[in-house]
Structure 1
């Protein structure tokens, strides 16, 4: 009976975190089904991450039998894919795409419907090796606490929600499973079983690399296993130890481990060094400054994301450090995961999800210490010990759920609207096959997925000078400069810019030559410029890069504020979000201070009217189209920008651009004339 009770206790420690983790993820379904107009496009739920479109395209092409592993990818990073030939389909196809494609074929449905269930189900698998690891250490509540807090922490929930379809769903499972298997290799006496564990660990690491394509992590885990063996053998390796290391090295794929050295260095540079520098590639601005997932948290926000509050984070982390001090030899195989989590204190919010399990384990360790204290004084028999484990786990688990109220209430929202989904699908109809799409990078993957059209940059290629030049077309007031830039980049690509830099041409000189039309040669592919509604909120950063001053190494954000809930409180006084716009005096009342209005601009259908109030001040725009009435507050630089003129006002140079789709405010599409 004692053995049965132990098994039941272990099942409790595993199944409760899994059940709670699945519940808070699938609980979002009630909101999604109740508001299908927001969360669905027809019969397709909408993805909740930008990268989901990346993996979904590969899956869709695998289903359609058009995926070409290792061959040139015609849809990514034009024109450089044609210039260099280095922009190719991943080989092999990413595991997530492969699994998604297989399930989509079996159930005869869209990839989105597969991702609705797949991501949450995969995300909680890490619970099994994590609980087993600490259970074998004699720290059952530590394992339970880490598994539960890890599965419900807000940062992990956000990154593994329904329809996320991203690699984070197994990015805890693989390293914890590999770590657990490696940990067990020197706890078993049977040599054959040890080899079997090493084979399983090696295959796990190989699958991890297929899943995440970050060989540097495989290399680090392998190196820490060497440290693990050295700590046990006190550096006196036997022939058997070398044999074991060789088995792991071969099964983990030697090429992966060797490649991982370079990959590890590149990852450290990207996330810890280049983020804090404003310029890349010879002085062009660094777009990573604007990427939310690479910004570091303050302590309060980091606490909310990982543990629920500051007390849990601080006490849990301090307790885990004590645990680590006392059991460091046994924990060496999973220390790499802990170190990744610590990066969240410096930069990169995605790494906070690696920290949560250790914070939970630290708090659980306090309960394990109490149980051990009572057990050492013979106040607990085996039955009482298991009962104490369950009761303390319930107590700690309830505390975690209570502290993580934001996780319980969290509802995952799509990264795309049904309207934009319709627009990108519409691109297949209104643009010829082989067209190139000029727009901001965030929806690059989505355009590739829905429209099967090529883009200049996307979520995996936005860190290049091309992103700066895309931004300049949005912020410039000169349509000819925008036109020359689009054609210039279409001919040069990032490779051409890199070659000019190697020749000693300064970034400002490259910019001026492109602006002047030095490289504005016709190209074979039709080019379409798309403006989308998400860019209202992103325009501050777009304008910042587009107005970059190479001497001062900064740009200007500019003012573009969509005003909502506008109502007339008098015949000529408009109340918008608490701002009082006096259309008689030409002023805006802000906190009892009057701000002058320079222009009042009104667009009704295709007619644009303009009234001047003052020689200086802000610009107020009224847009009254068939679908929607909108009000914008802008400074003069933003008012004159192509973003405002072509997108909001649809005032454009007909000799350079042709309007082909007007679905404002969702999207506006122009063709670049050649």
Structure 2
């Protein structure tokens, strides 16, 4: 039976296309010839790039240590991603024997629970082992893992491009990617998360695909197939996104096919891959494609946002939002010309070296998804741009030094080896000197140390059976620090429960009381059933807002934090409204006037607010001290905009509110601390960082 590849190769159209392709790419396709010293030079350069990346992140930590009040609570370093607290909590649970794979984790979605990862996240497993071996506390151990996790991908990148015949591309791609704003920001100190490891595993998998494809011996083919499968197995445990298993299987099979491996060898290598990467996971990955596309591709008919009965939470998450072209440029190389050159060079590299570049297809594809989906994918676009700039360097070095190589034929191999490296150093020097990277960036904590102090105080002073009702962002951190369950978190924010809590924070104090009691009594499952029965949003909202049975237990504590002021527009959007708290800073002027930023002036005597030549009559002006109402000035307009003044250095932090905003539970309980005693009892106040209330039991509620 004839090989289909031989039949295709004899096709005249294919032959004509191949001839044209080869003649065109001949001007761009000239990998480096390796000298006996080239690997040593390459190895030194790769290790140097790796340790530069590691050291830069430790430099960030040194800045933290010099400013402990901003970055540490007592001896605990803050994290720069809230997901870090999930992995730290799981590490503690693993060591305590409390982690139950696939069991119900009610702590981050109380009272229903969501499944624990099965198996436990590899990041948590490693942290638990490091804690046991070194005795270093979980938080400092996690911090010290970050520089290495964020830098290991450089070694895989360098090895890949060395094997492909372009060693200088590896150095350029590694250094430009590790200090690109999007990647550096997602792998900076305190960012104990999967991003750095993800890049490492993807490039390592691509490396093994290329190594297997180029193998001349069957033994090496099978060894590299097993290495690829084990890499994907580890990646599944690390990231828990099984779709990559299927993607790399397809890329692997295609690469073996175009490298002309025998069909039986392709079949056996594929079988080895499936077995070593876990056959059950491979089968499950077949159904994972539709789920991932439903989240990230907005125009598909099964997109979750368009099919959700309530506003889609991912529309309010900045890193999940689509980016403009200028935003993508700033995320990557921060220069439009270099961005276009790099993108063009990346496409040229892939086109001119299709067989060598095909194993990178998953990374390249995710990079290009940036243009139609989330800006977070820009971290995968940066290697494309960096490799593209490096490839242009290769093309330039080839033509610049071609005559020199002919003149010194005996040394041409050395010239071809070191010329690209020399130009690479010049390129990197220019880019770093022009400050087109994020090299000097120092990340801020995700939680203010004063807010963290309040959370720690809650852990020490609230009853052991407490549950915390708050917005989802800090949920994972609260559960980790206090051990108390939260009603939703960063692992469950895409459920309708987030809409339910948003409704409670934007509604009246009575609605907050009713909805929080309803959720605590298991109302979420009833809401799910009502939506399945095609009940309208208004009908469901009415059911939970009118729930009058109160809480079943005396254990609900509501936490408001300062960050919720800025996030209120997102909370309001998810509740089905479109309101935001306008924040400005005002200083006393002449004639009873407050002069504010954003071209806003307020006449305290008449209550007239002027914004960009537009006059708005206020109904109230309220003065607070430490978040408590101390004085109120009312005006002739009974229902209108109100202003809250919070004294600060040289003026007032000023909040401008619509009538409905003023009556919301968030404004009343946080900005004014004006609790209705019928519903809530103040417990802690560390204003402006946070305020805690207890939801009154039904017996106390009935006394009013």
The reply to whether TM is greater than 0.5 is yes
Which structure 2 residues correspond to residues 156-555 of structure 1 after superposition, within 5 A?
A: 156-233=183-260, 237-273=262-298, 283-373=309-399, 378-379=405-406, 381-476=412-507, 478-517=508-547, 520=549, 522-524=551-553, 526-546=555-575, 548=576, 555=577
1:42 equivalent in alignment to 2:74: yes
Q: Deviations over 1:588-618 (max 9, x none)?
A: 3434544322211223575543221241643
Q: Following the alignment from structure 2 to structure 1, what is the Cα–Cα distance between the partners of residues 308 and 295?
A: 16
Contact 1:9–1:390 (Cα < 8 Å) also in 2: no
Question: Are the structure 2 counterparts of residues 170 and 493 from structure 1 closer, same or farther at C-alpha, using a change threshold of 3 Å?
Answer: farther
Contact 2:618–2:635 (Cα < 8 Å) also in 1: yes
Contact 1:275–1:289 (Cα < 8 Å) also in 2: no
Q: Following the alignment from structure 1 to structure 2, what is the Cα–Cα distance between the partners of residues 209 and 145?
A: 28
DSSP 3-state at the match of 1:633: strand
DSSP 3-state at the match of 1:113: helix
Q: Following the alignment from structure 2 to structure 1, what is the Cα–Cα distance between the partners of residues 385 and 588?
A: 53
DSSP 3-state at the match of 1:242: helix
Which structure 2 residues correspond to residues 52-131 of structure 1 after superposition, within 5 A?
A: 52-81=84-113, 87-131=114-158
DSSP 3-state at the match of 2:601: strand
DSSP 3-state at the match of 1:408: coil
Q: Following the alignment from structure 2 to structure 1, what is the Cα–Cα distance between the partners of residues 147 and 428?
A: 20
Contact 2:295–2:305 (Cα < 8 Å) also in 1: no
Contact 1:77–1:456 (Cα < 8 Å) also in 2: yes
DSSP 3-state at the match of 1:313: helix
Q: Following the alignment from structure 1 to structure 2, what is the Cα–Cα distance between the partners of residues 497 and 335?
A: 43
Question: Are the structure 2 counterparts of residues 361 and 406 from structure 1 closer, same or farther at C-alpha, using a change threshold of 3 Å?
Answer: closer
1:597 equivalent in alignment to 2:629: no
Q: Following the alignment from structure 2 to structure 1, what is the Cα–Cα distance between the partners of residues 135 and 685?
A: 34
1:561 equivalent in alignment to 2:582: yes
Contact 1:278–1:289 (Cα < 8 Å) also in 2: no
Which deviates the most, 422-431 or 348-357?
422-431
* Structure 2 unaligned regions, length at least 5: 1-33, 698-704
DSSP 3-state at the match of 2:214: coil
Q: How far did residue 287 of structure 1 move?
A: 1.2
Contact 2:85–2:477 (Cα < 8 Å) also in 1: yes
Contact 2:347–2:388 (Cα < 8 Å) also in 1: yes
Q: Deviations over 1:338-374 (max 9, x none)?
A: 1011111111121111111121111111122234446
Q: How far did residue 155 of structure 1 move?
A: 0.3
Q: How far did residue 32 of structure 1 move?
A: 1.5
Match of 2:22 in 1: none
DSSP 3-state at the match of 2:493: coil
Which residue of the other structure, out of 51, 59, 72, is the alignment partner of 1:27? 59
Q: Following the alignment from structure 2 to structure 1, what is the Cα–Cα distance between the partners of residues 127 and 308?
A: 40
Q: How far did residue 664 of structure 1 move?
A: 1.4
Question: Are the structure 2 counterparts of residues 252 and 306 from structure 1 closer, same or farther at C-alpha, using a change threshold of 3 Å?
Answer: same
Which residue of the other structure, out of 606, 631, 641, is the alignment partner of 2:654? 631
Q: How far did residue 669 of structure 1 move?
A: 0.8
DSSP 3-state at the match of 1:202: helix
Q: How far did residue 516 of structure 1 move?
A: 1.4
Q: Following the alignment from structure 1 to structure 2, what is the Cα–Cα distance between the partners of residues 362 and 405?
A: 16
Q: How far did residue 441 of structure 1 move?
A: 0.6
Q: Following the alignment from structure 1 to structure 2, what is the Cα–Cα distance between the partners of residues 376 and 229?
A: 34
TM-score by length of 2: 0.88
Which residue of the other structure, out of 668, 676, 679, is the alignment partner of 1:645? 668
Which deviates the most, 363-372 or 655-664?
363-372
Q: How far did residue 406 of structure 1 move?
A: 5.0
Q: Following the alignment from structure 1 to structure 2, what is the Cα–Cα distance between the partners of residues 279 and 489?
A: 23
Q: Following the alignment from structure 1 to structure 2, what is the Cα–Cα distance between the partners of residues 258 and 434?
A: 41
Q: Following the alignment from structure 2 to structure 1, what is the Cα–Cα distance between the partners of residues 485 and 228?
A: 40
1:609 equivalent in alignment to 2:636: no
CA RMSD in angstroms comes to 2.5
Question: Are the structure 2 counterparts of residues 493 and 517 from structure 1 closer, same or farther at C-alpha, using a change threshold of 3 Å?
Answer: closer
1:5 equivalent in alignment to 2:37: yes
Q: Following the alignment from structure 1 to structure 2, what is the Cα–Cα distance between the partners of residues 139 and 14?
A: 13
1:665 equivalent in alignment to 2:688: yes
Which of structure 1's runs of 4+ aligned residues deviate more than 6 A?
274-278
Q: Deviations over 1:138-160 (max 9, x none)?
A: 22222222122111111000000
Contact 1:13–1:131 (Cα < 8 Å) also in 2: no
Count of residue pairs brought into register by the alignment:
654
Contact 1:572–1:584 (Cα < 8 Å) also in 2: yes
Contact 2:108–2:491 (Cα < 8 Å) also in 1: no
DSSP 3-state at the match of 1:186: helix
Contact 2:213–2:255 (Cα < 8 Å) also in 1: no
Question: Are the structure 2 counterparts of residues 214 and 149 from structure 1 closer, same or farther at C-alpha, using a change threshold of 3 Å?
Answer: same
Question: Are the structure 2 counterparts of residues 140 and 343 from structure 1 closer, same or farther at C-alpha, using a change threshold of 3 Å?
Answer: same
Question: Are the structure 2 counterparts of residues 209 and 56 from structure 1 closer, same or farther at C-alpha, using a change threshold of 3 Å?
Answer: same
DSSP 3-state at the match of 2:622: strand
Q: How far did residue 3 of structure 1 move?
A: 5.2
Q: How far did residue 14 of structure 1 move?
A: 1.1
Q: How far did residue 430 of structure 1 move?
A: 3.2
Q: Following the alignment from structure 1 to structure 2, what is the Cα–Cα distance between the partners of residues 646 and 525?
A: 19
Question: Are the structure 2 counterparts of residues 369 and 211 from structure 1 closer, same or farther at C-alpha, using a change threshold of 3 Å?
Answer: same
Contact 1:153–1:305 (Cα < 8 Å) also in 2: yes
1:585 equivalent in alignment to 2:606: yes
* Structure 1 unaligned regions, length at least 5: 82-86, 549-554
Q: How far did residue 51 of structure 1 move?
A: 0.8
Which deviates the most, 364-373 or 458-467?
364-373
Q: How far did residue 281 of structure 1 move?
A: 6.0
Q: How far did residue 426 of structure 1 move?
A: 1.6
Q: Following the alignment from structure 2 to structure 1, what is the Cα–Cα distance between the partners of residues 297 and 492?
A: 18
